Structure 1
Amino acid sequence: MPDQVNGFVLTRELIYQGDSQTLRFWLKPRDGTCQPLDITAEASVGFIRSEDIDRVKGVLRQQSFEADIRTLKLKDFNQQPMAGLYCRQWAQLRKITRALAKKGIRVWEDDIHPGDRYLMERFITAGVDVRWQERKVVLRPMEVRPEFDVLSLDIETSFWEPGTLPELYSIALASRKRQWVGWVRQQAQQQCSHGDAQAYDTVEQLFRAFLDQIEQINPDIIVGWNVVNFDLRILQQWADKLGLDFVIGRDQQMIRWFQPFDHRDQWRCDISGRVVLDGIDSLRTAFYQFDSYALDAVANEVLGRGKLLAGDHRAEAIEQLYREDTDQLVAYNLEDCVLVLDIFDQLKLLDFLVERSYLTGLSLDRIGGSAAAFSHLYLPRLHRNGYVAPSVGSQVLNFHSPGGYVMDSVPGIYQNVLVLDFKSLYPSIIQTFCVDPYGMAEALAGLSNDPLEGFDGALFDRQRHILPGLIRDLSARRDQAKLQKNQPLSQAIKIIMNSFYGILGSHLCRFYDPRLSSSITKRGHQILQQSKQWIEQMGYQVIYGDTDSVFVWIEKEVDHDQAMSIGKQLAHDLNLRWQQELLKRYQLDSYLEIQFETHYLRFLMPTIRGENTGSKKRYAGMIVDDQQQPKLVFKGLESVRSDWTALAKIFQQNLYRKVFLKQDYRQYVSEFVQSLFAGQSDDLLVYRRRLRKPVEQYQKNVPPHVQAARLWQQHYPNRRINRIEYVMTVNGVEPVEFQQSALDYDFYLEKQVRPIAEAIFMFTGDSFADLTEKQMPLL
């Protein structure tokens, strides 16, 4: 064994051996093959109050549990002294925790995985330097950036319904170095000329060949699309049917399955020494949003190309290819693998996940995990300050902190509106006002000489805190990432920093306390209201504000350059005012930073539909783009909502553009309605909606898209549907695929066109009825 190794922590495992446990970390070096690092005889630890030691010992004796109890220089947030409860196995610690809970005795931090604790207490997130000193292993954090071996996996089957086992046609594997497809031929003479294809006579032969390929390729990361809950689950079911071990991990380890307690309809898996990344989960983790997360839809939007088979009848087409054109089946199977690889590369998803791991300690395949990331960063620092963390769910305060402040808007059409935006408002509030769980515990216990008052009874220590320093470091790293144009790192830091407020306000976080979250959001209300007052004292009108932004109407004729200059001056003056105000009132340095973000040449703040009250989170405007051309921006309106038709979106974009540019919009409206009733816009009348649950689960409220899905299922009773395309006809809702009735143009006029027009006509003085009644057909 060498004296020193280093690598990226790819996976972490807990292995029970007799009455002890081993922590196994698979490390991927900069060059070479992933290798295991075993940490043996590492105890699992929880914490108990020192006053409970005798009672705990009694329970241990009564139930024949083995554990060591040690007094420690630690306390809880109520200043009670704590002791450590050490067990040889994590499973044993959890059993003891449950037994103690029945006696009314609490255990702190027993839910932390021993592998996670081992790394976090050494401030290790992703990269590690390992050295052996006097026969002892010493781990230190180190940045290691390996080239991961990534393999894309996809299978083709007969039509699949959840709960059934479909026929397995083929398995495809693709990396940047090699491709392989194995397929099961139906008869001996069936051939395939594709160079990467290999035929097998039985599914068992195919499955064994697949396992051999995984062992030969030896990937670090396996990617795919719904790869866990479809591809790997189907392969596991086939392994069970064939009586084969699904040996896909390193060291000939079988895949391990589990179901999250809050998602019993979903599966997760662990593979020894390998990470499985699902494309859909990775996109959502990186906060990418798509109308549809189907591979074909995402590939077309990201790459400009899609699957080799498209449409709603791919299952039938795949079955036909399997019978009649194996070459095309193999090409289709391989292309799905390549699409996933290309999407990961184009959007730098793996880069993002690596950066997230370095920042938070989360494994690459961890979905969500904001609370876990917070704990990984916060706990070791809290321990070094003499505290143990509260247990999840231990908070007894039951009031709720408010959300972001949203001002009442002033509806109208405006010229020259500026948007000023506070950069990372909530993180900057945490920094400025020392919002911190540890700092609050110190101040509420009377241990602070000059506590800083928060909201709802919160007090914070001005000098002793953890979270403000973490945010300060992350903010500096993000600024550096922007300078280096490291978008994955910048995005990862932004998501992490913005999650801190939500974590403190979530019952799923061990540090949840409404006094903490209120001291952030209520301070945000105060800041936005005070900023509005100062802006209006400068002679401008604030027509809207939302959480961290204010919309300022200049109220005078200026050109674009003059408006930009005013916006920058406003931001400068506000930042100076806040620096002066916070220093004078609280003796605090200000980390608040308001930026001039946007100049709207023209801006519409609509009313709530059918009322005169201004709306919230809904507006439209025209800006100047990088090519100095006018560009429309919509927020919350029909043009950017997936539940409106293309007809509505096109109409709104064209109408607003003409109004903003002072062009003849009245003639456009008349001609648009005329073309609608003439049948010239029929291809724009399709609704496309996702079903978020099975059709049969809609009972009380059955919206139109579910009605359409039910009609669709009458033609395909054994098929499940996730998306539906439908139209409104004179006889009601009908799926596009089975439309029989004439389109209901009056419905589209009243429900899609009129609301859009009237939202802006109320400010132009026009009447939709007057502009369109001559275009309506006589009945």
Structure 2
Amino acid sequence: MLPTEFKGFILTRRWRDVAAGTEIEYWLATDAGPRKVVLSSRTSVAFVDAKHRKSVEAQLAAMPGMELRELPLKTFQQAPVVGVYAKHFRQLGQLARALRDQGVALLEADVRPHDRFLMERFITAGVLVEGGRTDRFSIVDCKLKPAPDFRPVLQVVSLDIETSQDEELYSIALDGTGERVVFMLGEPPPEPGEPLGFSLIHCPTRKAMLEQLNDWFERNDPDVIIGWNVIQFDLRVLQKAADSCGAQLLLGRERRPIDWRTHPGKQGYLFAATPGRVVIDGIDALKAASRSFPSFSLEAVSQELLGEGKAIGDEYDKMAEIERRYQEDKPALALYNIRDCELVLRIFDKAKLLQFMIERAHTSGLQLDHLGGSIAAFSHHYLPRMHRLGYVAPNVGEIPSKAFPGGYVMDSKPGFYDSVVVLDYKSLYPSIIRTFLVDPVGFVEGSNASDSAMVVKGPGGTAFSRQKHCLPEIVTTLWRARDEAKRVRNESLSQALKLLMNSFAGVLGAADCRFFNPEVVSAITLRGHEMMKLTRTFVESRGYEAIYGDTDSIFIWLKRTLSNEEAHAIAASLVNDINDWWTRVLREDHGLANFLEIEFDTHYKKFFMPTIRGSDVGSKKRYAGLSVDAAGKEEMIYRGLEMARSDWTPLARQFQEGLLSRIFQGEPYKEFVTDYAQSTLAGRKDDLLIYRKRLRHRLDAYQVNVPPQVRAARIADEYNGRVNRPRQYQRGGWIRYVMTLNGPEPLETRHSRIDYEHYLTKQIQPIADAILQPMGENFMTLTSAQQALF
């Protein structure tokens, strides 16, 4: 007997129309194991302008199980609406299409039943289950309430496969929850080998492998499947193998198949909805957590995060070695296969990815594996609150797409500086929303207000209600939750809340969001412009100089060389004074509470702002500095410069770092420039000359403009074809090449001499001149005296 009350974490959700109505299914992770919740005979709802009632009634005559009801709700245009209630959710889609042909909009008809059920009850991921009747491990027609404090212990399995070059399945490895195992195609050896630390099960056919895999999932029953490119490659290949051999791939709970769907905006990109289990790709999870790497290959990320990897060699060596092991040493292939699973598990643990994904689900209201989804998360929070204020949401596209101002970027003042401090507005756009009451419903109410005292005037003639709004309260709730998360050092929750809050302004500016409104988002961005300009005026009234600013940060030159303690003290004083000034101005001039807060970010003992290449104008989003923290620890910081960009060679990055660090530290630098150029010409830096660039399109898509990396890739694949190796670059990818006297040549087949003049003039000289120009020097002047260079 199941308990009548327990807490759970929503793993998966789905709806389906059955004879009795719309049925909603949630799979939960609970302290007692997985549980399925089924809500039967759910009614779906949409809304329509009351003036179109007769048109709707005419359509409903042919649609049994639907009815209209009077509701105390209205559109953003202040028109009363009626509710359209349907026995089956698909009926709303049919009605929406029929009414669209008549120019009538059915509002909120696209909100799926399982999402609406949760959002209207303010449930995100944790639920309290009450009552209902039990059917084995299912709970039917129970009550669900929010349980935001529940954190599950999820059972995780890491899955990886090995294949031939042509994606013929060789082996499947599973590690984590349950039995560590590799299923291997082929007959077992006549004699047992050495113990491997996991089970190696030989299968005579691919169909037998897949049946073993299905049985493993039913027997071990994990909540989460993780891997590296696990959906687009591993699961896709497994499904292809199942289809080709007449087997079924039944990885879902209750031995259910994967529900494959394609991404509407990304050709070839697949979703793998797996009933009762969540599939999380490690690459996508790292990106969702705002983690960045020069390469997201498993080898590269493993080396950076764990300090170790598993590479056999280059791509050709790898495939050849996998083939050799499959043919001659299957235990060695099994070890290689399960090593991938182990590395993925360790990366998830090291980066705390699963904790982050759990907290993200709790904050956003989205399913654990719903990556991206800022618009959906905004709607999850906003719709129920908007309904309680008497409004229904518009449809996507109601307001035509239109450009609006972005973040404020101040003109920079290029050069070298001593003692620069950076102050940063904490969560600028969320704080503007909270302080100035920026909100879609508030904008509608403010635009229709008759009493100017009841509105907050915003940029561009906008006005927002002081009393009726949703978004400021949502931001306030999330803000306080983040402060608490930081207090208890829950970094995953703090990061998830920060990302969600910071996404709101972008959502309001997204044309595919139902709340898109250029006037509303401009009220946020233009207020940011105003704040940065006022902050600059305040700083300069104190005798300092603002040399750069970007969206929420202002770079302040203190006008003289100061000790680290003096610079930090001045920064702290400016922070206090600016925050006090905002509090006073907002209260006295606007009658508003102040939630704007500027903070100290960085002290640069030395700072460099370059010009735009080939001009005297200061660049933007590009600088370098020697930062010093309160304890005196120094660190070189690079933003937007060649040092921080992967499309420049290591030669350029190493040169820039060496030159700037010498100048910042007051060390001799002229000899460094000439020696570096001499060493390059002499071939002593050949290992730093490699370009590594990405081919973003198919190789045959480059017709008019053919950049060097494409030329190198074509040479490489022509060579691969001649020596009967697989072509590597036809569908894009990463290419490594060098510039020779005959142009770009790939590392796979380089024959020509290096074009050292190219590296001097295209890689070293531009960097040198950008740094040396403010000092009255240039690369040619320093190197021309060294006749041996030329």
Asked whether the 8 Å contact 1:677–1:776 carries over to 2, the reply is no
Partner of 2:656: 652
Partner of 1:719: 727
Q: Secondary structure at the match of 2:572?
A: helix
Q: Secondary structure at the match of 1:628?
A: coil
- 1 CA distance for matches of 2:350 and 2:114? 33
- Could you tell me which amino acid in structure 1 is paired with residue 54 of structure 2? D
1:669-724: CA deviations, max 9, x gaps?
11111111111100011011122222122222211111111111112344343111
Query: Does 1:742 find its partner at 2:750?
Result: no
Partner of 1:144: 150
- Pairing partner for 1:278 from 264, 277, 281: 281
Partner of 2:169: 168
- Could you tell me which amino acid in structure 1 is paired with residue 77 of structure 2? N
1:349-368 correspondence to structure 2 within 5 Å: 349-368=353-372
- Could you tell me which amino acid in structure 2 is paired with residue 496 of structure 1? L
Partner of 2:110: 111
CA, structure 1 residues 187+173, in 2 after alignment: closer, same or farther (shift >3 Å)?
closer
1:483-632 correspondence to structure 2 within 5 Å: 483-624=487-628, 628-632=632-636
- 2 CA distance for matches of 1:33 and 1:133? 18
- Could you tell me which amino acid in structure 1 is paired with residue 442 of structure 2? G
- Could you tell me which amino acid in structure 2 is paired with residue 331 of structure 1? L
Query: Does 1:47 find its partner at 2:47?
Result: yes
- Could you tell me which amino acid in structure 2 is paired with residue 149 of structure 1? Q
Q: CA deviation at 1:290?
A: 1.2
Q: CA deviation at 1:187?
A: 8.1
Partner of 2:476: 472
Q: CA deviation at 1:584?
A: 2.1
1:141-170: CA deviations, max 9, x gaps?
01321210100111100014xxxxx32110
Q: Secondary structure at the match of 2:315?
A: coil
- Pairing partner for 1:238 from 225, 241, 264: 241
Partner of 2:181: 180
Q: Secondary structure at the match of 2:218?
A: helix
CA, structure 1 residues 339+627, in 2 after alignment: closer, same or farther (shift >3 Å)?
farther
Q: CA deviation at 1:305?
A: 1.0
CA, structure 1 residues 171+649, in 2 after alignment: closer, same or farther (shift >3 Å)?
same
Partner of 2:23: 22
Asked whether the 8 Å contact 1:420–1:571 carries over to 2, the reply is yes
Q: CA deviation at 1:262?
A: 0.9
CA, structure 1 residues 627+177, in 2 after alignment: closer, same or farther (shift >3 Å)?
farther
- 2 CA distance for matches of 1:200 and 1:343? 30
Asked whether the 8 Å contact 2:352–2:492 carries over to 1, the reply is yes
Query: Does 1:345 find its partner at 2:349?
Result: yes
- 2 CA distance for matches of 1:280 and 1:119? 29
- Could you tell me which amino acid in structure 2 is paired with residue 293 of structure 1? F
Q: State the identity %.
A: 43
CA, structure 1 residues 19+691, in 2 after alignment: closer, same or farther (shift >3 Å)?
farther
Partner of 1:163: none
- 2 CA distance for matches of 1:309 and 1:631? 35
Asked whether the 8 Å contact 1:308–1:332 carries over to 2, the reply is no
- 1 CA distance for matches of 2:150 and 2:443? 36
Asked whether the 8 Å contact 2:769–2:779 carries over to 1, the reply is yes
Q: CA deviation at 1:15?
A: 2.6
- Could you tell me which amino acid in structure 2 is paired with residue 59 of structure 1? Q
CA, structure 1 residues 235+649, in 2 after alignment: closer, same or farther (shift >3 Å)?
same
Segments of structure 2 that go 5 or more residues without pairing to the other structure are 134-139
- 1 CA distance for matches of 2:320 and 2:72? 67
Count of residue pairs brought into register by the alignment: 771
Asked whether the 8 Å contact 1:68–1:85 carries over to 2, the reply is yes
- 2 CA distance for matches of 1:745 and 1:552? 41
Q: CA deviation at 1:16?
A: 2.7
Q: CA deviation at 1:190?
A: 8.9
- 1 CA distance for matches of 2:588 and 2:749? 71
Asked whether the 8 Å contact 1:183–1:198 carries over to 2, the reply is yes
1:404-437: CA deviations, max 9, x gaps?
1111111111111111111111111111100011
- Could you tell me which amino acid in structure 2 is paired with residue 80 of structure 1? A
1:534-553: CA deviations, max 9, x gaps?
11111111111111111111
What TM-score comes out, normalization by structure 2 length? 0.95
Partner of 1:753: 764
1:761-772 correspondence to structure 2 within 5 Å: 761-772=772-783
Asked whether the 8 Å contact 2:131–2:143 carries over to 1, the reply is yes
Asked whether the 8 Å contact 2:740–2:753 carries over to 1, the reply is yes
- 1 CA distance for matches of 2:739 and 2:93? 57
Q: Secondary structure at the match of 1:543?
A: strand
1:277-426 correspondence to structure 2 within 5 Å: 277-313=280-316, 314-396=318-400, 398-426=401-429
- 2 CA distance for matches of 1:286 and 1:133? 37
- Could you tell me which amino acid in structure 2 is paired with residue 738 of structure 1? T
Tell me which moved more, 634-643 or 553-562: 553-562
Tell me which moved more, 347-356 or 14-23: 14-23
Asked whether the 8 Å contact 1:229–1:267 carries over to 2, the reply is yes
- 2 CA distance for matches of 1:673 and 1:365? 50
Asked whether the 8 Å contact 1:65–1:96 carries over to 2, the reply is no
- 2 CA distance for matches of 1:309 and 1:144? 43
Tell me which moved more, 210-219 or 713-722: 713-722
Asked whether the 8 Å contact 1:249–1:272 carries over to 2, the reply is yes
Partner of 1:427: 430
Asked whether the 8 Å contact 1:422–1:592 carries over to 2, the reply is yes
Q: Secondary structure at the match of 1:741?
A: coil
1:260-312: CA deviations, max 9, x gaps?
21123111111110000111111111111111111111111111111242422
Tell me which moved more, 509-518 or 765-774: 765-774
Partner of 2:136: none
- 1 CA distance for matches of 2:556 and 2:479? 27
- 1 CA distance for matches of 2:192 and 2:656? 54
- Could you tell me which amino acid in structure 1 is paired with residue 748 of structure 2? E
Segments of structure 1 that go 5 or more residues without pairing to the other structure are 161-165
Query: Does 1:266 find its partner at 2:233?
Result: no
- 1 CA distance for matches of 2:46 and 2:727? 49
- Could you tell me which amino acid in structure 2 is paired with residue 83 of structure 1? V
Q: CA deviation at 1:322?
A: 0.8
Q: Secondary structure at the match of 1:144?
A: coil
- 2 CA distance for matches of 1:629 and 1:125? 42
- Could you tell me which amino acid in structure 2 is paired with residue 307 of structure 1? K
1:44-83 correspondence to structure 2 within 5 Å: 44-61=44-61, 63-64=62-63, 66-83=65-82
Asked whether the 8 Å contact 2:772–2:779 carries over to 1, the reply is yes
1:636-673: CA deviations, max 9, x gaps?
00000000111111111110011111111011111111
- 1 CA distance for matches of 2:355 and 2:58? 51
Asked whether the 8 Å contact 2:583–2:593 carries over to 1, the reply is yes
Asked whether the 8 Å contact 2:422–2:554 carries over to 1, the reply is yes
- 1 CA distance for matches of 2:474 and 2:362? 14
Query: Does 1:456 find its partner at 2:460?
Result: yes
Tell me which moved more, 285-294 or 305-314: 305-314
Asked whether the 8 Å contact 1:70–1:85 carries over to 2, the reply is yes
What TM-score comes out, normalization by structure 1 length? 0.96
- 1 CA distance for matches of 2:525 and 2:666? 41
